[in-house]
Amino acid sequence: MSSAWLVAGTADVRAEHAAATARAAQWAQVSAAEQAWITEQQVAAQALASRSIHGQRVQDILARANQAITAAQTALDTSPNADPATRDALAAAIPVVQERSDQIDRGVLIQDVALALDDLTLVAQVVTDPQATWQAEQDRIAAEAAEAERVRAAEAQRAKTATTPKKAPATTNAPAPAPAPAPAAPAAPAGQSFAWKTSVSNSGDQSVLDRCAGGLTRWFEDIEGKPYYPIHRHCGGSPILKFSMGDRVQIDGQAWVVTDSRNLHAGDDKDLAFGLNGQILVQTCFVGTNGAVSVVALTRG
């Protein structure tokens, strides 16, 4: 082998090595750019996922805030007997949650809204618990009043049954004697013949009734075809609560007799007053019973 061939061969090897090195460097550059692109895409995907998670958390806290505001306003509206200081605190806490919800992601963080929600929920509970206790007591009073009325009506009915004369048994041995004339009832003392004397002052709906004109209001519609005469207790209707079966009442000079009664609740369907034994109905409300009313049926007599 000649030395010239060896030199030429060595030069070719060097050239090939240089070309391979250049190609490797080029591929390295391409790989680095690709890796940078991949990294950029991963960062962008993570940022998008983070924004999505944050957006969901914002929607969740806003939904909770809306529910809490609605519940707190309801508690405020339905708890008139709660402590005034706690009611004021609840009224002040509601707009705080609303304001922070409106400003979320504009200087207000999710954590700020959550803290205001916790305060609102706590104050609402302090307001609703005493109201629930008060309502339970009112329900108990109403139930006791209704039971007392039921017992009174039952006793009156038993007394009426006990005093009703029984028919004499028929006989075929002799004609029945003519009945003796009934003794005349003793005259009632002057001023005591009626348990209540009143008059019909006006007619119309609730707005007319609320005027407290001093007497009964002829309601704009009948109950089961019977004229209906309500009157507020504080406007002169309290005697209705003391009526007993058989009591006599004078309305505009006409005498009436108490023949039936029933306890209902303000706002009940009027059908619940159907079936009372009488020609007209008078009504007033009990004291401190959260809407319990007494409906009394009167018959002309």
CATH number at residue 209: 2.40.260.10
- 54 falls within a domain: yes
Task: Tell me, letter by letter, the H, E, C secondary structure of 114-133.
Answer: HHHHHHHHHHHHHHHHHHHH
Burial class of residue 82 (count of CB atoms within 10 Å of its CB; 0-12, 13-18, 19+)? buried
Task: Mark the ranges of the chain whose per-residue pLDDT is less than 50.
Answer: 163-190
Hunting for tokens 């504009």 — which residue is that? 106
Residue 141 CB neighbours (<10 A): 16
Hunting for tokens 């003794």 — which residue is that? 183
Alpha helices in 78-163 (DSSP H): 84-102, 110-163
- 180 falls within a domain: no
Q: Are residues 25 and 109 in the same domain?
A: yes
- 150 falls within a domain: no
Q: Are residues 217 and 296 in the same domain?
A: yes
pLDDT value for 289:
67
Residue 263 three-state SS = strand
Residue 178 three-state SS = coil
Q: Are residues 10 and 118 in the same domain?
A: yes
CA 56 – CA 36 distance, rounded (Å): 30
Q: Are residues 118 and 27 in the same domain?
A: yes
Hunting for tokens 């009224």 — which residue is that? 91
- 169 falls within a domain: no
Cα dihedral 80, 85, 91, 94, rounded to 10, equals -120
Q: Are residues 200 and 295 in the same domain?
A: yes
CA 247 – CA 194 distance, rounded (Å): 7
Among candidate residues 129, 152, 174, the one where a domain is terminated: 129
Q: Are residues 122 and 32 in the same domain?
A: yes
Name the phi and psi angles at 78, rounded to 5: -105, 10
Among candidate residues 129, 150, 182, the one where a domain is terminated: 129
- 151 falls within a domain: no
The reported pTM is 0.39
281 closest CA partner among 203, 227, 220: 227
- 286 falls within a domain: yes
Strand partners, 251: 198, 254
- 21 falls within a domain: yes
- 141 falls within a domain: no
Q: Are residues 104 and 198 in the same domain?
A: no
Determine the structural domain holding residue 274 and report its residue range.
193-300
Among candidate residues 96, 129, 162, the one where a domain is terminated: 129
Structural domains counted in the chain: 2
- The string of DSSP codes covering 245-262 is TT-EEEETTEEEEEEEEE
Q: Are residues 197 and 125 in the same domain?
A: no
